[in-house]
Structure 1
């Protein structure tokens, strides 16, 4: 976890990519960390090869990869064939499988109300991810509550469109932000 936390602190803007155009822009950007939010079992290795050749720290959102099941075999497939640095998932079981395979793990948590906040904190304590991505990332109160309740780095994601959103999220306790907004990747 130490290397991941250091990477996030040194590179607080994470490029979140949803298509090949984003991939091309991320490769050319200053963003050192990339969240891959698209692909399928046929092209995910190629996507990661491109990012690896450009010295990017790679996380695959395994819930979004077409043709991949959210089970131990699916996570093992990702580790062996795509070879990312880690995975992102909303599913506790995927985080547990990836932890067993010594992949970095980021648990993505959507906070809609007080119950989802409570459930999110409980799941994080049970799965022990290396970091947590809180969505929506512009919800500074939520980030502040998470920072007090958990002991892992927080990444703010979702609806971060302007430099002010980045600064607000970082000032409330997130150590990094993930965004699909290309103009922010070079901050």
Structure 2
């Protein structure tokens, strides 16, 4: 999938399912969510997790920093590219985002906005190679609005989003999409 296709997919699918366990996996297979962030697994079961999701016609991103047996190294990106059918990766590390692009994967760069210093550093740290950025926590409409002005990448809001009001606030503030692990909200909003 090319970056332009991904941006189009984001525009038409504002809810991203973030799955963190087997229960979430089973729920996502039955949902209408078209984009999935995989936040669990290990090097043994990850290819099967991704295949099951892809078999349902969904786009899959793997949070490489959260997979047991993988490290935030180029070899882990190589593993994802060669041994799975994932569309892309998520990482907090610019070098991993760059490496993902070299392997033909899409890349979402994740940032934790804990204070004004972290916010001010996003513009400096965002990789030129990132297809989108994800900011956490996603329940900060003012921050999303300010970030939209300074970073020219699609913004995904994630973390601590629990209901429709959080989703609407993030989208109205300028987020392209929201990622959340609360499966009951996936079904209400897809």
SS of aligned partner of 2:162: coil
Alignment TM-score, normalising by the size of structure 1: 0.97
Find the counterpart in structure 2 of residue 19 from structure 1.
21
Find the counterpart in structure 1 of residue 182 from structure 2.
181
Q: Work out the CA distance in 2 between the residues paired with 1:88 and 1:184.
A: 22
Find the counterpart in structure 1 of residue 58 from structure 2.
56
Task: Tell whether 2:115 aligns with 1:109.
Answer: no
Aligned residues: 186
Find the counterpart in structure 2 of residue 132 from structure 1.
133
Alignment TM-score, normalising by the size of structure 2: 0.95
Partners of 1:130 and 1:153 within 8 A in 2 = yes
Structure 1: tracts of 5 or more residues without a match: none
Which 4+ runs in 1 deviate beyond 2 A? none
Structure 2: tracts of 5 or more residues without a match: none
SS of aligned partner of 2:89: strand
Give how far 1:142 is off: 1.2
Partners of 1:34 and 1:58 within 8 A in 2 = yes
Deviations 1:125-165 (A, max 9, x none): x4430000010100111111110011111000001101000
Give how far 1:108 is off: 0.6
Q: Work out the CA distance in 2 between the residues paired with 1:127 and 1:90.
A: 14
Partners of 1:13 and 1:184 within 8 A in 2 = no
SS of aligned partner of 1:60: strand
Q: Work out the CA distance in 2 between the residues paired with 1:163 and 1:17.
A: 18
Deviations 1:69-93 (A, max 9, x none): 2111110101111120000001111
Deviations 1:22-68 (A, max 9, x none): 00000101111000000011110000010010111000000000111
